[in-house]
Amino acid sequence: MTTPNPQVRRANIEDLPQLVLLWRKEGYSVAEYEKRFKEFQVIDAPERPAAAVGLQVVGSRGCLHSEGVCAE
């Protein structure tokens, strides 16, 4: 999938349904990640997030976790 001028942003509540689908596809714990969805950065596609990655901030460091890409 090619997205012209992709925009990366912090996930918001409207992204949650698509993130849940993505987490299930990747085999992640939906119950755990629903509580932490604000850790996720999403790359927008025209109608839904095209990809997401979790970023947990610990002190002055960022720890990446739980990446996923929507492929069609």
In the prediction, which pLDDT does 47 show? 63
In the prediction, which pLDDT does 36 show? 84
> Both tokens of residue 18?
């698509």
E strand map for 1-60: 8-10, 40-44, 49-58
Q: Running DSSP on this structure, what letter comes out for residue 12? A: -
Looking at residues 42-48, what average pLDDT do you find?
A: 71
Buried b (16+ CB within 10 A) or exposed e, 43-52: bbbeeebbbb
Per residue in 13-44, pLDDT (tens digit) is 988 888 888 888 888 888 988 888 888 888 87
Give pTM, 2 decimals.
0.66
